[in-house]
Amino acid sequence: MAKQIIHRVTDDLDGSDAEHSIEFALDGVAYSIDLNDKNATEFREIMSRYVGVGERLGRVKVMRVTHLPTAGPSKSTKMRNDAIRAWAKKQGKEISDRGRIPAAIEEEYDRAH
């Protein structure tokens, strides 16, 4: 039996399909938000008022803006993440069905395999 798994990234504000993942920092805390074109443009317009008068500290990893691929992660990445989640659950570890896999669990999986 063949399966097709579709990874869909949704806009964190309105639930529509997201095309952008924007990372930013405020008060020493880094954030990431997934937005569609309209909301990403609005976010950038609002932030431009503050960015325009703020002191630039240079490039920081958390400040990069990425464009999300429309097809989602590669099949091999998705298969690896599914395998790690299944293994972690069998080991009795708490792991969510979605989102980023904690580095410690991924490292344990790699050591076990």
pLDDT single digits (tens) 67-94: 555 555 666 788 889 899 999 999 999 9
Closest CA to 46 of 33, 59, 58: 33
pLDDT reported for residue 42: 95
One-letter identity of residue 104: A
Interstrand relation of 29-35 and 20-26 (parallel, antiparallel or unpaired):
antiparallel
> Which residues, in sequence order, are bridge partners of residue 66?
21
Radius of gyration of the chain (CA): 18
DSSP state of 73: S
Query: 84 is written with which tokens?
Result: 């790690």
The set of residues, in sequence order, having a beta carbon less than 8 Å from that of 87 and lying 6+ positions away, is 109, 112, 113
Low-confidence residues of the chain: pLDDT under 50: 62-63
d(CA 105, CA 96): 12
pLDDT reported for residue 74: 62
Closest CA to 72 of 3, 2, 1, 8: 8
